[in-house]
Amino acid sequence: MSRIGKKPVTIPSGVTVTLDGQTLTVKGPKGQLSWTLADEIEAKLEGSELTLSKREETTRAQAMWGLSRTLVNNIVTGVTSGYERTLELVGVGYRAAMKGNALSMQLGFSHEVDIAPPPGVTFATPKQTEIKISGIDKQVVGEIAAQIRRIRPPEPYKGKGVRYAGEKVRRKEGKKK
């Protein structure tokens, strides 16, 4: 039995949740997100709590129960406080700067790498070697952070590349004479 699915999702003040069939729409101070629940899951809105339950006892319903609760909680958290990922650039000459809304990075290639933000995502560069990605959709923020990291992932010998803040890069020993 899902321990995550049993927990109700607490809806903070200032957030409105609308259920229209299987479509759940959440409006908050940062924006609006909607998501369609799986057919096996039933949602009930009671006061300031949203509870999810299974309609049938199948393996898929069991799996979707915990997943649905987590995704709904992520949506509620996103519209209230939002999500942020921080990337670090490690390497000589590696730096990032803003060109309007777009992010421009020099990562040791012969050209600059420019990335336009998807809708609902903003980039910020507090330092030349730090990139902050923020938005209300956790999945989109994580995906764009992964795409930026994929351009120049950290290599194991010198540790140069784009890494998540606090990420430990496993280093290898170089050649010996």
For 3-80, the fitting CATH number among 3.10.180.10, 3.40.50.920, 3.90.930.12, 3.40.50.150 is 3.90.930.12
pLDDT tens, residue by residue, 135-151: 999 999 999 999 999 99
Can you give the pLDDT at residue 47? 87
Mean pLDDT (whole number) for 82-98:
95
- Residues 6 or more apart whose CB falls under 8 angstroms from that of 11 comprise 17, 48, 49, 50, 76
- The pLDDT, as a whole number, for residue 176 is 85
Secondary structure of the chain as H, E, C letters: CCHHHHCCEECCCCCEEEEECCEEEEECCCCEEEEECCCCEEEEEECCEEEEEECCCCHHHHHHHHHHHHHHHHHHHHHHCCEEEEEEEECCCCEEEEECCEEEEECCCCCCEEECCCCCEEEECCCCCEEEEEECCHHHHHHHHHHHHHHCCCCCCCCCEEEECCCCCCCCCCCCC
CA distance 58 to 65: 11
Q: Per-residue pLDDT averaged across 44-52, rounded?
A: 91
What residue ranges of the chain are covered by domains with CATH 3.90.930.12?
A: 3-80, 83-164
Helices 138-151 & 59-80 angle (0-180, nearest 10):
90
Average pLDDT value for the chain? 93
Q: Which two tokens stand for residue 140?
A: 């989109």
pLDDT of 1 higher than 70:
no
The predicted model gives 152-158 an average pLDDT of 94
84 — pLDDT class (breaks 50, 70, 90): very high
Q: What is the pTM of this model?
A: 0.88
Task: Give the pLDDT mean for 98-125.
Answer: 94
Positive or negative: CA dihedral 115, 118, 124, 130: negative
- According to the model, what pLDDT value does residue 164 have? 96
CATH number of the domain located at residue range(s) 83-164 in this protein = 3.90.930.12
pLDDT attached to residue 2: 65
